Amino acid sequence: MPVADCRLQAPTFVREDGRGTFTEIVNYGPWHTVITGTMGRGAVLGNHYHKLTRVFFFLTSGSARVEQACVGGNERTTSELSAGTGVYLEPCHAHAIRFLKPSSFILLKSRPYREDDADTYPYPVLSAD
């Protein structure tokens, strides 16, 4: 999938009623791990790529800028995420996520992290400044 096709993803279903809100953030994919986390303003996640792992990154609060670069090519994209939006990060597309304000996120991965086979390769997309 070319970098240009890695569009922002809105939730696939939202139900709000007197009990609260139910949000389906994604309704397909080969997910094996679910990660949740928080990051401070200015923090950078990534600056790497995966050869095999597919990732879905969903921002639950805050805002972030996602930069992607096609490994071995010249294609680059930049996307702004706000709370309630996500983005797919495909294999062989380097990515870096800079948090523009304190944020919380959910990260789905198609392969679990293993220290002996991390499938994570450094690739600077942006500087940590």
pLDDT tens, 16-57?
989 878 888 877 788 889 999 999 999 999 999 999 999 999
Which of residues 60 and 19 earns the better pLDDT score?
A: 60
pTM, entire model: 0.84
Instruction: Please give the angle made by the CA atoms of 117, 122 and 125, to the nearest 5 degrees.
Output: 140
Query: Does the residue 126 lie in any domain?
Result: no
Residue 68 within any structural domain of the chain: yes
Task: Flag whether 42 is in a domain.
Answer: yes
Is the pLDDT higher at 2 or at 70? 70
Task: Find the CATH number of the domain harbouring 63.
Answer: 2.60.120.10
pLDDT of residue 111 exceeding 70, the answer is yes
Give percent of the chain with pLDDT exceeding 70. Answer: 91
Quote the mean pLDDT of the chain. Answer: 88
Residue 20 resides in a domain: yes
Residue 13 lies in a domain: yes
Of 1 and 64, the one with more pLDDT: 64
Phi, psi of 55 (to 5 degrees): -130, 140
Q: Which residues contact 79 (CB under 8 A, 6 or more apart)?
A: 6, 8, 65, 66, 68, 87
Domain that holds residue 7: 3-112
Whether 129 is covered by a domain: the verdict is no
- What pLDDT score does 7 carry? 62
Is residue 4 over pLDDT 50? no
Q: 62 pLDDT exceeds 50? A: yes
pLDDT of the residue at 27: 78
Residue 117 has pLDDT above 50, yes or no: yes
